[in-house]
Copies of this chain bind each other. A is one copy, B any other.
Amino acid sequence: MTVQDVTLSGQQLIGAQDVPGTGEEFHGVDPRSGERLEPAYRFGAPADVERAAALAWDAFGTYRETDQETRAAFLETVADRIDGLGTTLTDRVTAETGIPEARVKGELARTTNQLRLFARVVREGSWLGARIDPAIPDRTPLPRPDLRQRKIPLGPVAVFAASNFPLAFSVAGGDTASALAAGAPVVVKAHPSHPGTSELVGRAIRAAVAEHGLPEGTFSLLHGGRELGIALVTDPRIRAVGFTGSRQGGLALVAAAAARPVPIPVYAEMSSVNPVFLLPGALREKAKDLGPAYVASLTTGVGQLCTSPGLVFAIDGDGLDAFVESAGAALQETAVAPMLNPGIQQAYDAGVRRLEALDEVAEVARGGEDQTIACGGRAALFVTDGTAFLANPALQEEVFGAASIVVRVRDQAQLVEIAESLEGQLTATVHATPDDHGEAAELLPKLELIAGRVVFNGWPTGVEVGHAVVHGGPFPATSAPATTSVGTRAIERFLRPVSYQDTPADLLPAELRDGNPLGIWRRVDGELGRD
């Protein structure tokens, strides 16, 4: 009997109840071997959505009024319980996703640190957005009333888990952590590609809900596909949506949310090719180092990271040949690694074939082959030129996986033209020596308009979870360009300000009372302070 047999029921977690699905049976699949993993799961039915949403709405009134310490301690318990799963969890993740142990451990630490970071955010209290404009009774011609503002959560949040980060962007990932921090109950639609991982993490959250005496509807976990997803987004008790996945999937949720009698926001992180710009000085000085570093970034996670560098633009001249050559050599050395699931692998292969078929695109190199890996992803490097790139918008399309195109650009003017032609991105990267700062200064204002994060002399993969990060960006990178799904600002997505006018002291929430009993930052008559 394996660990999974002991701990996994194959059921949905709806509040405190285990509820079996009634739809088609499915299994986690080990993408290394193609082996079917036990137990079986089934998709849920509309009645499951109905019950999870009803419980979430019931929980909302209580949960949103928990004090900062209770909510922060709850988030920390979630983190502790997930950490406590140890190898039961990390082994299951590897089995369901093929992600090697070291990366799973890193992602686990990132996930639980993120929960603890949001606990600190909750305690610090700036997210409450407290503002007080005191009354001026003797103002003429009219007295000024007392106005106080705080932020409250929107309501229950539906979270759609991603396949590529089975912990950090899944059941207890950034969307769930920031929604729970904001005071919003969460209903997760698990990603069918890692159902066992989802159940393990879901049980940890449920246990933390119980341990802190929170209402059971604070958290539910459903299994389902598109139909259940649409039912969730259109349930009137769901008030916001977090999503990480494909453009097609994200746009379907955006459309469903906009068509509701009362539309709701969808925070969808969808697709990005993460352009990299190599300026002449950088190519001259370090072309041979940039090539392998590029391939290392490209092949991290078998290219299945949202910030994988799918396009590199380099001005033709000294070093460009050396860069392409060193990248090609490094790429040829890469071993085949398992992609997350057969669907992703097939889409990747189709994307590579699409590029191969284009006259204006030449193959530079392919990674090694290995037929023993069921869902093997074989890296691919292509080259084209700037004029061809500008002429064919299809070259901007994301091939999810370790495929990338180096674009030989004629000159700085064409580089700027390309920067202005790009779709919205999560990231844009510049490699520049001090000699290049004139060109970089011209490029930067273009790049900040199309990307959420601009990286210098590094690579876009690797997203810090902190205060200053933006993991977001203009459409179609996301459906909500003014937000981030990673980092402390993510909490803002699930809050809205409310103003209270001339409210009797005993009816005011603590964060707006005279004397600042919570000791939080507040803006009083426009001045920030903690008094």
Binding site for B on A (CB under 8 A): 61, 65, 106, 120, 124, 126, 131-133, 141-142, 144-145, 147-149, 152, 154-155, 258, 262-263, 265, 423-424, 432, 434, 437, 440-441, 444-445, 448-449, 451-458, 462, 464, 466-470, 472, 474-476, 479, 481-482, 484, 488-489, 495-504, 506-507, 521, 523, 525-526, 528
Contact = CB atoms under 8 A, between A and B. Distances in A.
Contacts of A484: 497
Given A145-B464, A456-B502, A470-B498, 17 more contacts: A131-B468, A133-B464, A133-B466, A145-B458, A147-B468, A262-B424, A437-B507, A454-B499, A454-B501, A456-B501, A456-B507, A458-B502, A466-B526, A467-B526, A470-B499, A474-B496, A481-B496
Nearest to A434: B504
A437 B499 contact: no
Given A448-B152, A482-B265, A464 B144 contact: yes
23 contacts: A106-B141, A147-B464, A147-B469, A154-B481, A262-B423, A265-B482, A434-B504, A437-B504, A441-B507, A444-B507, A448-B500, A453-B500, A456-B501, A457-B502, A467-B523, A467-B526, A468-B523, A470-B497, A472-B496, A474-B496, A481-B496, A484-B497, A489-B497
Contact of A495 (B142, B482, B528): B482
A147 B458 contact: no
B475 A262 contact: yes
A9 B523 CA distance: 45
Nearest to A148: B468
Contacts of A437: 504, 506-507
Q: Could you say how many copies of this chain the assembly holds?
A: 2
Give 8 closest A-B pairs by Cβ, nearest first: A470-B499, A482-B496, A147-B468, A131-B468, A133-B468, A149-B468, A453-B499, A455-B501
Nearest to A501: B455
A44 to B, nearest CB: 27
A231 to B, nearest CB: 20
Contacts of A258: 258
B468 A503 contact: no
A152 B504 CA distance: 39
Given A441-B507, A501-B454, A469 B149 contact: yes
A526 B144 CA distance: 35
A68 to B, nearest CB: 15
Nearest to A106: B141
A437 B362 CA distance: 75
A113 B124 CA distance: 34
Contact of A440 (B155, B457, B476, B507): B507
Contacts of A154: 481-482
A293 to B, nearest CB: 14
Nearest to A424: B262
A504 B467 contact: no
A264 to B, nearest CB: 8
Given A133-B467, A468-B149, A475-B262, A498 B451 contact: yes
Contacts of A501: 453-456, 458
A266 B332 CA distance: 49
